[in-house]
Each structure stands twice: as structure tokens, then as C-alpha cells.
Structure 1
Amino acid sequence: ISELSSKHVELAEQVVSVGEEVFVKVIDIDLERRRISLSLKQANEAVDVNGTEFDPALYGMLAEYDEAGEYKYPEGFDPETGAWKEGFDTQREAWEQEYAAAQARWEAHKAQVAKAAEAEAAAGDDFGGQVFSSEVAGAGTLADDEALAALREKLSGGNA
């Protein structure tokens, strides 16, 4: 059972179903024990269902920074005017599609949080969270140490 909720959970099925797609936060990758620890609760705590501002980088949109730590704007975008330069329609359209996809994932995450809040309210105090660690084995999973190490490296931004 994972960090599924702020309330007590007896069975994971009280919160999630097999095959259901949910947003989680990776809280640990243990290469020695070949486990990945995930938290639904922590992922949901970071979202304001009534919020209007979101960080597209948290929802799959690449954010690049230069050596000085300054955000690198997409090719063809003029940060001084806040507009796209002429002749960069293809880049603008690609960026807008990426942004729309990230925003759609954020909206889906907000819906997940709202659904979880409704379920917790309906269940009363008999609902909750614990820590989840899953064995990583078998086909279709991160079955080898190299894949786990690569995932850890990617998620830590190359600082693993």
C-alpha cells in the first residue's frame, strides 16, 4: 500500500483500480533493493484544484536553462516583446501543442485531486495513506539495474 491518501487505507483498491492512470510523485529509487517508491498523496498535495497557474515543466514540457540559470526561450520567441518572430510559425505551433498537452495533463491531475477529495469526504475517517514500494521485476517493467539507474539519473536531472 502506498502513500495513497491522507486518511487510512486498508486496501489499495479503496483508492485506485488496476489499469487506472493516475499522477504520482516518485519519492525514491532504491537500486540495491530494486524498488521504486511512489506517492499519490504527495502528488495530489502539490495541486490546487481551484488554481489557475501551473508549471508546464511539471507536466512534460521541456524547460531549458543556460549556464547562468536563465530560462532559454523557444527558438523564434522574442522575450522582450512577448511575441513570436515572423517565419517561426512551425516552432510556435509545436510549442503551443506541447503547452496545450501539458495543460491538459494538469487539468487531468486537478480532476484526480478533486475526485480523491470527494472520495475521502464520502469515506469519512476510514481512508488513508501508507508508503508504497513495489518490487521491480518481470517483462514490461524496469527489470534491469541499468534501466533503474537511467530512470534515477533522468528524474534527478543528471545529479544522481
Structure 2
Amino acid sequence: DMACFGKIIGGGFPVGAYGGRREIMECVSPAGSVYQAGTLSGNPLAMHAGKAMLDYLKHQPAVYDVIEEKAAYLERGMRAILEEYHLPFSLVRAGSLMTLFFCERVPHRYDDVQKADLKKYSQYFRGMLDRGVMLAPSQFEAMFVSCALTKNDMDVTLQAFREVMKEMAA
């Protein structure tokens, strides 16, 4: 009944937005009695950046194909390395979002995700960081593959990944 959006609509700047059916939105001030405000609500810089990004994407739809290719390249490389070292893992990708879980099966529910090995993820995170690859420090946050990544960036990432997985397998 409602949709919530984060900083992507601000071109990376901090902002959020929500929307829903008319009867829900009419509950929000000034039409309704629910007051909503925030420090960054309607921030002009974020709104301008978001509109510029949306306009760019509208006129450059091939960017989605580029991001898909880059994410698929990273996924293939990571899967090959994980299989080489026989580590229990589950690599999940949807478009440009990818998450590596240290568990044997793809998690589908909260209970499944809770079985992921957080210590292994921490070891993975630290190993990648030590090699200059910055990932989300939480097992429960996805990697966002960017159009800005170069082939060299991805190969450096995969080399760091190989080194870390080799250490973890030992």
C-alpha cells in the first residue's frame, strides 16, 4: 500500500521519500493530521541531484545493461573462486545487488539468514578491507555494483577475493 525510497532518489545524497494510495497520503499534513518533517526533507541539493540522475537514466537506459554485465562478471568470478576453495556459501544476486552469505543454502526467510556464519563474514570483510576493497561491514547489507567500476577495479576485487578465500579455506 506504500512505497519507501532512500538516498537513490537523491542521486546519493541523504534523502528519503514515501508515497501511497490517496486515502493514505491524505492523512499527512497539510490535508491530514499526521505531521511529517525532517532535517533533510526536500533538501534542494538532494532533489536536484536526484532529478539529474533520474533524467540521465531515462535518456541513457543502456546504463542498466552495463551494470548488469559488471555484476554478472563479479558474480561469475566470485562463484568460481568459492567453488575452487569448497567454502560453504550462498551468493545471491538481483541485478546490481549482490550479497555473499556464509551458509550452505540460499536464505529465503529471516530464520535462514540467521544461520549465516557472521564470524566468517567478519573475516571476509576485514580481509577485503586490508586489500583495499571496501564492503559493507554487515553481513546483512548488499553490495551495490556501480556503473563507475572499471574492468581493472573488478579484477582487483576478484584478486583480493581469491586471496581472502584462500586464507579462509586454510
The bucket for the TM-score relative to the shorter chain is: under 0.3
Q: Normalization by structure 1: what TM-score?
A: 0.27
TM-score (norm 2): 0.25
- Which of structures 1 and 2 has the larger relative contact order (alpha carbons within 8 angstroms, sep 6+)? 1
